[in-house]
Amino acid sequence: MPEIQFREALNQAMCEEMDRDPDVFLIGEEVAEYDGAYKVSQGMLARFGPMRVVDSPISEAGFAGLGVGAAMVGMRPIVEFMTFSFSLVAFDQVVNNAPKMRYMSGGQFKVPIVFRGISGAGQQLAATHSWTVDALYTHVPGLKVVVPTTPYEAKGLLKTAIRDDDPVVFLENEAMYGNRGEVPAEEYLLPFGKADIKREGFHCTIVAWGHGCLTALAAAEQLHKDHGIEVEIIDPRSLRPLDIDTIAESVKKTGCCVTVEEGYPTCGMGAEITAQVQEKCFDDLDHHIIRVGSLDVPMPYSKVLLNHVVPGAQRVAEAVKQAIYFQR
Amino acid sequence: MITLVEQSQKVEPSPAQMMDWYRQMALIRQFELRCAQSYQQQKIGGFCHLYVGQEAVAVGSIAAVRPTDYIITAYRDHGHAIARGMDCQSLLAELYGKASGCSHGKGGSMHFFDREKNFFGGHAIVAGHVPLAVGLGWAIKYRKEDRVVLCYFGDGAMNQGAFHEALNLAGLFKLPVIFMVENNGYGMGTHVQRASAVAELKLRTGDAYGIPGKHVDGMDCLAMYEMTLAAAQYCRAGHGSLFIEVKTYRYRGHSMSDPQKYRTREEVAKYQEHDPIGRLEKLLRAKNLLDDAKVQAINNEIHAHVEEAHHQADMAPFPQTQDVWKDVYANPYGPYKS
């Protein structure tokens, strides 16, 4: 199987879907002539031309809304936000126009649009530029929210997102674009709402996705080496729909659960997963569920402070030890 | 300098067309008066923004475009829906929250939709729909279709960011969109001069976005028709977008719960002297197309039609509570679905 970068996997997904369906187009800031701020759309302008790979001015509400309008007549726009921190100035388009059109029109209009781009704390960009928007968008009925962890998932899930008849928020992470992984040469799609067991274990369940999942995997490796603790890592892949059944099955086996996210704990994804897990596994839990997330403060600039706020492998490992009453 | 009406071929509307417009305007007015009554009877919930006084805008402009053209508007959408040919019964059913409503009871007054009739809503966030109009225009250009978009909004929308982002994109990409501001003088209770640094709205898009601005008397159905026809020709010819400032006036409050302390009775009465329906009626009388008996007959007929639609809508069943789960997604899913 060929090994490619995360960004190449996304590029392949978009190119394949654009070859397949003339209604698919990409619009965003610097996606065309600049070849993408993070080179995800590299070469696409040359291949598809300026009507299908469209440079937009810095105008998020404008081009996000353009995408929604075009989707209402059956086009399949891929709207790239340079970062989802900038999606906040297009919030009305993402949380009102895209996800509520089908409902408010009594099913007459569908909005098959993908909003994609990076989300997360990134490289010392301080508070306004460092949003992790997982929970923010997962809150909204009518949206689907997808977070790939590997290049394989990035490609398979993005292809599914582009073909989906509902609006999809597709969250990537800058720090992961260069990550390499095996991706099949032949075509494949990955479904939403189907979690992946990233690591099998029996002491404790960790629910983690995207960049947080890589942190959890590092923590799991450390716990295994240092203490022989075997954690099971469930990666939901999509936060809405959420595969709570696979998560619950694992928690019933391990008896404890830690959630890991890079967003904030208050009303965060961990809080939601915790609520759903206790509904299904109340009698199986040997310890309360522990949420690991960014500390509840605006994202600071200084590296020392930033690394303290965003959860690292050490914090995840400590949470697992607490959850299993580990005595050294 | 772009001159529109001069360039276009002036088409004198036929007597049948003008009679049709008269009927449509009278229908919108009676529909709205029925709404006011039903609102007071608490059959209509939420906000309800009446179109009384502005009828000529929707009727004259929609008459000038084709059924294949796209229409999108803001929350004061009853008039546009009727002018587009949507059925009064499905509109009243929507207002009464019934399953047979045009949006199946999910939208209400501010969210009328009709896919078949290329009516794209009914949008309640001020200016939030203007970028959607740009997307519709983008799709037309992308697919090389012979269509235009007619996008309505109020004067209040012109101070929102979404409006300006949308206009810039439309000007940049040269999209076939007619942006039509229905300047009725007030954004809710705030006069346009207290809201817009440049109160002459037609001046606000030309130099800024390369979209020529025109103005037209919105109390004159024929002028609306003529201007929109010319604008549609301009857009169809591939020149890009156009902006039209329509000077109009609403007789009723912003919504049903508006004490209207911001204007005088005299001001309203002054505009009512130029009533769009009365004006067309006068013209049709002069052409011997209408007389007292015909006016009476038409009004009786429309009244009966609206009352019948009201009666049917009132009798229609409410949605089933399990319908709340319908149309959230293409396929229902999730832990909290029914």
Q: Is the pLDDT of residue B131 over 90?
A: yes
For residues B92 and B84, give the distance between their C-alpha atoms in angstroms, rounded to a whole number.
15
Q: Is A142 on the interface with B (CB under 8 A)?
A: yes
For residues A48 and A216, give the distance between their C-alpha atoms in angstroms, rounded to a whole number.
39
Q: Is B204 on the interface with A (CB under 8 A)?
A: no
User: Which pLDDT does position B153 carry in this prediction?
Assistant: 98
Of B117, B114, B111, nearest to B129 by C-alpha is B111
For B160, which residue in chain A has the nearest alpha carbon?
A61
Q: Is the pLDDT of residue A107 over 80?
A: yes
Of B131, B134, B335, the CB nearest to A242: B335
Of A70, A97, A166, the CB nearest to B139: A70
Of B103, B115, B165, the CB nearest to A104: B103
- Using one digit for the tens of pLDDT, what is the confidence trace for A66-102? 999 999 999 999 999 999 999 999 999 999 999 999 9
| SS3 state of residue A239 | strand
For A72, which residue in chain B has the nearest alpha carbon?
B136
Of A187, A110, A178, nearest to A144 by C-alpha is A110
The stretch A214-227 carries a mean pLDDT of 98
Q: Is A25 on the interface with B (CB under 8 A)?
A: yes
CATH superfamily of A3-182: Thiamin diphosphate (ThDP)-binding fold, Pyr/PP domains (3.40.50.970)
State the smallest CA–CA distance between residue A185 and chain B in angstroms. 30
Q: What range defines the domain where residue B175 resides?
A: 54-86+110-290
The stretches of chain B forming alpha helices (DSSP H) are 15-40, 55-62, 78-83, 88-95, 130-142, 161-173, 192-195, 206-209, 221-236, 265-272, 276-286, 292-315
The stretch B208-235 carries a mean pLDDT of 97
Chain A neighbors of B330, CB-CB under 8 A? 102, 110, 164-166
| Residues A129 and A222: beta-carbon distance below 8 Å | no
Q: Which residues of B, range 251-280, sit inside 8 Å of A by Cβ?
A: none
Of A57, A101, A28, nearest to B164 by C-alpha is A57
The string of DSSP codes covering B6-66 is TTSPP-PPPHHHHHHHHHHHHHHHHHHHHHHHHHHTT-S-S-----TT-HHHHHHHHTTS-
Q: Is the pLDDT of residue B117 over 70?
A: yes
User: Which pLDDT does position A123 carry in this prediction?
Assistant: 85
Q: What is the DSSP letter of A253?
A: H
User: Which pLDDT does position B266 carry in this prediction?
Assistant: 94
From the number of C-beta atoms within 10 Å of its C-beta (0-12, 13-18, 19+), residue B55 rates as: buried
Domain count, chain B: 1
Do the domains spanning A3-182 and A196-323 agree at the CATH topology level?
A: yes
Specify if B200 maps to a domain.
yes
Of A51, A68, A105, the CB nearest to B132: A68
Between chain A and chain B, the number of residue pairs with CB atoms below 8 A apart is 146
Q: Which residues of A, range 101-140, sit inside 8 Å of B by Cβ?
A: 101-110
Q: Is B152 on the interface with A (CB under 8 A)?
A: no
Catalytic residues of A: 60, 129
For residues B305 and B91, give the distance between their C-alpha atoms in angstroms, rounded to a whole number.
13
Specify if B218 maps to a domain.
yes
CB within 8 Å: B121 and A57? no
The stretch A254-265 carries a mean pLDDT of 97
Residue B337: pLDDT band (50, 70, 90) is: very low
Token digits of residue A304:
């020392």
DSSP lists the bridge partners of residue B217 as: B247
The stretch B207-235 carries a mean pLDDT of 97
For residues B146 and B141, give the distance between their C-alpha atoms in angstroms, rounded to a whole number.
9
Side chain identity, residue A142: G
CB within 8 Å: A69 and B114? no
B144 φψ region: left (φ > 0), alpha (ψ -120 to 50), beta (else):
left
Percent of chain B with pLDDT over 90: 92
From the number of C-beta atoms within 10 Å of its C-beta (0-12, 13-18, 19+), residue B23 rates as: middle
For A95, which residue in chain B has the nearest alpha carbon?
B128
- Using one digit for the tens of pLDDT, what is the confidence trace for A125-135? 999 999 999 99
Helices B15-40, B88-95: axis angle to 10 degrees equals 20
Q: What is the DSSP letter of B324?
A: G
- Using one digit for the tens of pLDDT, what is the confidence trace for B250-294? 999 999 889 999 999 999 999 999 999 999 999 999 999 999 999
Q: Is A59 on the interface with B (CB under 8 A)?
A: yes
Helices B221-236, B276-286: axis angle to 10 degrees equals 100
- Using one digit for the tens of pLDDT, what is the confidence trace for B195-209? 999 999 999 998 899
Specify if B221 maps to a domain.
yes
User: Which pLDDT does position B257 carry in this prediction?
Assistant: 87
Which CATH number is associated with domain A196-323?
3.40.50.920
Is the bond into A57 cis (omega within 30 degrees of 0)? Answer: no
User: Which pLDDT does position B338 carry in this prediction?
Assistant: 38
Average pLDDT, chain A: 97
Q: Is the pLDDT of residue A173 over 50?
A: yes
The position carrying tokens 């169809």 is B236
Specify if B48 maps to a domain.
no
Q: Is the pLDDT of residue B331 over 80?
A: yes
Q: Is the dihedral of CA A91, A95, A99, A101 positive or negative?
A: negative
Residue B48 phi, psi dihedral angles, 5° rounding? -140, 115
The string of DSSP codes covering A38-99 is TSTTTTHHHHH-TTTEEE--S-HHHHHHHHHHHHHTT-EEEEEEEETTGGGGGHHIIIIIHH
Residue B332: pLDDT band (50, 70, 90) is: confident
Q: Is the pLDDT of residue B156 over 60?
A: yes
Of B201, B169, B175, B207, nearest to B187 by C-alpha is B201
What is the pTM (predicted TM-score) of this model? 0.96
Residue B174 phi, psi dihedral angles, 5° rounding? 50, 60
Residues 6+ apart with CB under 8 A from A290: A257, A258, A259, A319, A322, A323
Q: Is the pLDDT of residue B7 over 90?
A: no
ipTM of the modeled complex: 0.96
Of A27, A47, A179, A20, nearest to A116 by C-alpha is A27
Token digits of residue A125:
């960009």
CB within 8 Å: B162 and A61? yes
Q: Is A66 on the interface with B (CB under 8 A)?
A: yes
CB within 8 Å: B107 and A67? no
Specify if B211 maps to a domain.
yes
CATH number at residue B194: 3.40.50.970
- Using one digit for the tens of pLDDT, what is the confidence trace for A31-42? 999 999 999 999
- Using one digit for the tens of pLDDT, what is the confidence trace for B66-113? 999 999 999 999 999 999 999 999 999 999 999 999 999 999 999 999
Report which secondary-structure segment, H or E, holds A316: helix A313-323
User: Which pLDDT does position B2 carry in this prediction?
Assistant: 56
| SS3 state of residue B192 | helix
State the smallest CA–CA distance between residue B281 and chain A in angstroms. 36
Chain B neighbors of A68, CB-CB under 8 A? 131-132, 135
Specify if B299 maps to a domain.
no
- Using one digit for the tens of pLDDT, what is the confidence trace for A145-156? 999 999 999 999
Q: Is the pLDDT of residue A44 over 70?
A: yes
Task: Give per-residue burial for A256-284: e unless 16+ CB within 10 Å, then b.
Answer: bbbbbbbbbbeebbbbbbbebbbebbeeb
Q: Which residues of B, range 91-110, sit inside 8 Å of A by Cβ?
A: 101-107
Side chain identity, residue A158: L
For residues A243 and A277, give the distance between their C-alpha atoms in angstroms, rounded to a whole number.
11
The position carrying tokens 């999108």 is B72
Of A25, A56, A69, the CB nearest to B132: A69
Residue B10: pLDDT band (50, 70, 90) is: low
Q: Is the dihedral of CA A43, A44, A50, A55 positive or negative?
A: negative
Q: Residue ranges of the domains in chain A?
A: 3-182, 196-323
CB within 8 Å: B107 and A240? no
For residues B223 and B225, give the distance between their C-alpha atoms in angstroms, rounded to a whole number.
5
User: Which pLDDT does position B1 carry in this prediction?
Assistant: 43
* Beta strands in chain A, from DSSP E residues, in sequence order: 3-5, 24-28, 53-55, 76-83, 114-118, 144-146, 168-172, 180-182, 196-199, 204-208, 231-235, 238-240, 257-260, 290-292
Chain A neighbors of B172, CB-CB under 8 A? 57
Of B106, B128, B138, the CB nearest to A106: B106
Q: Cα angle at A246 between A240 and A251, to 5 degrees?
A: 115
DSSP lists the bridge partners of residue B70 as: B149
Token digits of residue B37:
């009554």
